[in-house]
């Protein structure tokens, strides 16, 4: 499918507006011939024929025709704009829906700036094409055809001498289109890089300031800015090469008309009035020739934008998000059977290696291990953010792949390591997964997450609007709101990824006490670096380099005197001999 067929799929819904608009374009084009004809009549009959009484009526008709044509043009411009805006509306909707469908894999490999470029600049190029370029092409073709017919009727030989230059124009526009195609792709890519750079700079503005790297960032921006300018200049150079020729050829028509037409008048081949009328049609031939270069550029810009948008729309997520309206309640049995995992872009590095364990509803599984050992990746597999490369994951006696992804995730709540809050009220942030929750429920949950105290002390309480990503809150406050958000959903499987790392030990212990009241029937996974966060877990998995190297309860692991015991020792700040008989102390 080419770009035109593709956009037609979106615009054809509005075909009724399209038909009216095209009829209006035709009416407008058809009436275009009236004024030049009347001008010729004025010359022949009023000036040369002496019928002065005809002058005023003819001028009035010409003014009336001008008004009429302006009104008609205004109407079809509005209609084309409406088609363009409606097309854009549907397209943006499809893009946004696609964004919701795409998985971690896509976002790992696509820059935010690139996505933003598609959602804004590219969609606008599409709107410009539908709303403006289409009717300009239509007008150009109609004017050209009408001009040829009208001029041919007045004097065939003179018309043919003008039309002789059109094959050259056709060849030039075709060459220009071919050359500019690549240039517009490059502009589009450069714009995307510029966008990504700015987006990253804004997102990381605090880091830039903290490291006083403003000058470096400006330099980096300059390079991207310069690249974008150069690529635009490249496209402009192509235009500069062809547009003067196209303009020159269009201008040559006037010369040919005056020269050949003048001779024809002198030799009685045509009247002066006919020559004036003929000359009046000349701009209708000129204009499409002059416009052709610009229209070619617009079409190429549209083509580049449409290819980028279609690439995104046709991306299929590796984990399909099948829609299912059925409610599903998972109990929370989780079993990993010899699961290994590697990221798609690095098949040689096993991030998880032969993981096997089982968890029952009501149990808490603690996951500990050095940084980068695969803890987050392991829990990401439970929510099916990625699929295991080998082995099987079973939930409630069914393979995880058998559940529709959204249904599965409705039963899982995750507090992610990198807390993200929406720029919305605290109440709405907590109730993100449960929009029906009222303030009473939200505050009850916030109490469990030890967030109620600081929220209530804010002047606007639960109605306080937090900034983008939770700006205005401390790290620990954000973590507690994010914990409340996860708890509000009342999931069967609760995953806490380093959830209390930014709160003090006392707050952590308070949260843990409250949590035990709530997690009765849930399967809870707690990823932590502190022993205190997992010591009461039913099963603790100690991870290293993607493998489970130790497993058991706190007491069992202390007895083993292995890696877990070492961490315990360090965190307690005790000497080894003091810890002899660690199980007793544990
Ligand atoms: N999107 C990704 N693409 C490629 N490799 C990744 C990706 N995300 C993580 N990794 C790698 O996978 C390994 C495990 O990462 P993971 O986030 O699971 O570790 P972790 O144990 O949770 O670490 P931490 O305690 O620091 O949060 C790391 O070596 C990391 O570099």
Tens digit of each residue's pLDDT (9 = 90 or more) over 245-286: 888 888 888 899 999 999 999 999 888 888 988 888 888 888
Q: What crossing angle do the helices spanning 55-101 and 3-11 adopt, rounded to 10°?
A: 100
Residue 353: its pLDDT value, please? 95
Both 176 and 297 in one domain: the answer is yes
Both 101 and 247 in one domain: the answer is yes
Query: Mean pLDDT across the chain, nearest whole number?
Result: 89
**Residue 215 falls inside a structural domain:** yes
- pLDDT tens digits for 179-232? 888 899 999 899 999 999 999 999 899 899 998 999 999 999 999 999 999 999
pLDDT band at 323 (very low <50, low <70, confident <90, very high): low
Secondary structure string (H, E, C) spanning 315-335:
CCCCCCCCCCCCCCCCCCCEE
pLDDT for residue 575 is more than 50: no
Both 73 and 124 in one domain: the answer is yes
Q: Tokens 């605090």 sit at which residue?
A: 206
**Residue 330 falls inside a structural domain:** yes
The DSSP secondary-structure symbol of 54 reads G
Nearest CA to ligand 1 atom 19: 372
pLDDT band at 84 (very low <50, low <70, confident <90, very high): very high
Cα 324 to chain centroid, rounded? 25
Distance (angstroms) between ligand 1 centre and the Cα of 357 equals 20
Both 43 and 133 in one domain: the answer is yes
**Residue 401 falls inside a structural domain:** yes
* Lowest-pLDDT choice from 277-291, 318-332, 528-542: 318-332
- Whichever domain contains 426, its CATH number is 3.40.50.300
Kindly give the number of the ligand 1 atom that is closest to the alpha carbon of 104.
1
**Residue 511 falls inside a structural domain:** no
Beta bridge partners of 395: 334, 398
Residue 586: its pLDDT value, please? 39
pLDDT for residue 22 is more than 90: yes
Kindly give the number of the ligand 1 atom that is closest to the alpha carbon of 378.
18
Which residue of 344, 351, 498 sits with most ligand 1 atoms within 8 Å of its CB, as the best mutation to test the pocket?
351
C-alpha 181/C-alpha 3 separation (Å) is 13
Both 307 and 437 in one domain: the answer is no
CB 289 within 8 A of CB 250: yes
- pLDDT tens digits for 44-69? 888 888 888 888 999 999 999 999 99
pLDDT for residue 325 is more than 70: no
Distances (CA, A) of 132 to 127, 138, 355: 8, 10, 59
Share of the chain above pLDDT 90, in %: 57
Q: Where are the alpha helices (DSSP H) in 166-271?
A: 166-203, 205-210, 214-256, 262-266
pLDDT for residue 563 is more than 60: yes
Cα-Cα-Cα-Cα dihedral of 80, 83, 86, 87, to 10°?
Answer: -110
Return the beta strands (E) in 318-469 as ranges: 334-341, 352-359, 364-369, 390-395, 398-399, 412-415
Distance (angstroms) between ligand 1 centre and the Cα of 485 equals 24
Number of domains present in the structure of the chain: 4
**Residue 508 falls inside a structural domain:** no
Q: Tokens 């049609």 sit at which residue?
A: 281
Residue 447: its pLDDT value, please? 92
372 is in which domain, residue-wise?
326-411+493-502+519-545
CB 7 within 8 A of CB 129: yes
Both 171 and 306 in one domain: the answer is yes
Nearest CA to ligand 1 atom 2: 343
Residues with CB under 6 Å of ligand 1 are: 108, 343, 346, 351, 369, 371-377, 417
pLDDT band at 439 (very low <50, low <70, confident <90, very high): very high
Both 184 and 200 in one domain: the answer is yes
Nearest CA to ligand 1 atom 12: 351
Both 41 and 177 in one domain: the answer is yes
Tokens of 296: 């070619």
Both 203 and 140 in one domain: the answer is yes
Nearest CA to ligand 1 atom 23: 372
Distance (angstroms) between ligand 1 centre and the Cα of 494 equals 20
Q: For residue 376, count other CB atoms closer than 10 A to its CB.
A: 19
CB 362 within 8 A of CB 415: no
Distance (angstroms) between ligand 1 centre and the Cα of 475 equals 21
Distance (angstroms) between ligand 1 centre and the Cα of 546 equals 10
C-alpha 477/C-alpha 511 separation (Å) is 13
**Residue 24 falls inside a structural domain:** yes
Predicted TM-score (pTM) of the model is 0.81
Residue 288: its pLDDT value, please? 85
CB 428 within 8 A of CB 508: no
Nearest CA to ligand 1 atom 16: 374
**Residue 280 falls inside a structural domain:** yes
Both 396 and 286 in one domain: the answer is no
Name the more confident of 581 and 500. Answer: 500
pLDDT for residue 310 is more than 80: yes
Nearest CA to ligand 1 atom 17: 376
- Whichever domain contains 23, its CATH number is 1.20.1560.10
Nearest CA to ligand 1 atom 20: 372
- pLDDT tens digits for 351-388? 999 999 999 999 999 999 999 999 999 999 999 999 99
Both 472 and 441 in one domain: the answer is yes
Distance (angstroms) between ligand 1 centre and the Cα of 356 equals 19
Distances (CA, A) of 408 to 106, 330, 335, 363: 20, 8, 15, 19
Tokens of 439: 């303030």
Residue 585: its pLDDT value, please? 41
Name the more confident of 576 and 59. Answer: 59
List, in order, residues 6 or more apart from 225 with CB less than 8 Å away: 194
Name the more confident of 324 and 172. Answer: 172
Distance (angstroms) between ligand 1 centre and the Cα of 377 equals 6
Both 10 and 119 in one domain: the answer is yes
Which residue of 377, 415, 529 sits with most ligand 1 atoms within 8 Å of its CB, as the best mutation to test the pocket?
377
Distance (angstroms) between ligand 1 centre and the Cα of 372 equals 5
Kindly give the number of the ligand 1 atom that is closest to the alpha carbon of 369.
21
Distance (angstroms) between ligand 1 centre and the Cα of 343 equals 10
- pLDDT tens digits for 280-297? 888 888 888 878 888 988
Kindly give the number of the ligand 1 atom that is closest to the alpha carbon of 346.
4
- pLDDT tens digits for 491-524? 999 999 988 776 777 777 777 777 777 777 899 9
Residue 129: its pLDDT value, please? 96
pLDDT for residue 581 is more than 60: no
CB 138 within 8 A of CB 307: no
CB 378 within 8 A of CB 355: yes
**Residue 513 falls inside a structural domain:** no
Distance (angstroms) between ligand 1 centre and the Cα of 4 equals 43
C-alpha 126/C-alpha 138 separation (Å) is 17
C-alpha 301/C-alpha 252 separation (Å) is 29
pLDDT band at 176 (very low <50, low <70, confident <90, very high): confident
């Amino acid at each position: 499918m080419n770009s035109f067929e593709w956009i037609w799929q979106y615009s054809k819904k509005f075909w009724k507006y399209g038909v009216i608009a095209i009829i209006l374009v035709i009416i407008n084009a058809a009436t275009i011939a009236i004024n030049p004809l009347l001008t010729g009549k004025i010359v022949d009959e009023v000036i040369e024929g002496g019928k002065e009484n005809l002058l005023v009526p003819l001028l009035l008709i010409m003014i009336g025709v001008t008004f009429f044509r302006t009104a008609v043009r205004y109407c079809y411009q509005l209609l084309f704009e409406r088609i363009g805006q409606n097309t854009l509306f549907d397209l943006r909707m499809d893009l946004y829906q696609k964004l919701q469908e795409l998985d971690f894999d896509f976002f790992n490999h696509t820059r935010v700036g690139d996505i933003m470029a598609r959602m804004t600049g590219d969609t606008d190029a599409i709107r410009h094409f539908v709303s403006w370029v289409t009717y300009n092409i239509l007008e150009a073709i109609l004017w050209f055809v009408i001009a040829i017919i009208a001029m041919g009727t007045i004097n065939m030989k003179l018309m043919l001498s003008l039309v002789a230059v059109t094959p050259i124009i056709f060849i030039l526009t075709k060459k220009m289109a071919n050359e500019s195609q690549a240039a517009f792709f490059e502009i589009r890519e450069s714009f995307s890089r510029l966008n990504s750079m700015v987006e990253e700079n804004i997102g990381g503005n605090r880091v830039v300031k903290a490291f006083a790297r403003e000058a470096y960032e400006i330099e980096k921006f300059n390079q991207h800015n310069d690249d974008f300018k150069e690529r635009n200049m490249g496209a402009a150079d192509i235009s500069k090469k062809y547009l003067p020729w196209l303009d020159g050829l269009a201008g040559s028509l006037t010369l040919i008309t005056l020269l050949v037409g003048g001779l024809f008048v002198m030799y009685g081949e045509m009247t002066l009035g006919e020559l004036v009328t003929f000359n009046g049609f000349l701009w209708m031939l000129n204009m499409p020739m002059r416009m052709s270069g610009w229209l070619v550029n617009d079409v190429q810009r549209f083509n580049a934008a449409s290819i980028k948008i279609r690439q995104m729309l046709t991306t299929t997520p590796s984990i399909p998000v099948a829609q299912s309206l059925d409610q599903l309640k998972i109990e929370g049995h989780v079993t990993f059977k010899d699961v290994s995992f590697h990221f798609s872009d690095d098949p040689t590095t096993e991030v998880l290696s032969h993981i096997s364990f089982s968890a029952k509803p009501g149990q808490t599984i603690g996951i500990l291990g050095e940084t980068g050992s695969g803890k987050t990746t392991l829990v990401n597999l439970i929510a099916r953010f990625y699929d295991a490369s080998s082995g099987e994951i079973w939930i409630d006696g069914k393979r995880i792949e058998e559940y529709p992804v959204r249904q599965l995730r409705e039963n899982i709540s995750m507090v992610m390591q990198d807390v993200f809050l929406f720029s919305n009220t605290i109440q709405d942030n907590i109730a993100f997964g449960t929009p029906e929750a009222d303030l009473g429920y939200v505050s009850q949950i916030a109490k469990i997450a030890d967030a109620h105290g600081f929220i209530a002390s804010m002047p606007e309480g639960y109605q306080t609007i937090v900034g983008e990503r939770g700006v205005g809150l401390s790290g620990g406050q954000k973590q507690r709101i994010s914990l409340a958000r996860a708890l509000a959903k009342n999931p069967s499987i609760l995953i806490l990824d380093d959830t209390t790392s930014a709160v003090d030990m006392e707050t952590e212990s308070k949260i843990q006490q409250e949590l035990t009241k709530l997690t009765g029937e849930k399967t809870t996974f707690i990823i932590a670096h502190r022993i205190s966060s997992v010591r009461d877990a039913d099963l603790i998995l100690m991870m290293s380099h993607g493998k489970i190297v130790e497993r058991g309860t706190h007491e069992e692991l202390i007895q083993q005197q292995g890696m877990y015991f070492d961490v315990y020792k360090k965190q307690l700040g005790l000497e080894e001999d003091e810890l002899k008989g660690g199980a007793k102390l544990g």
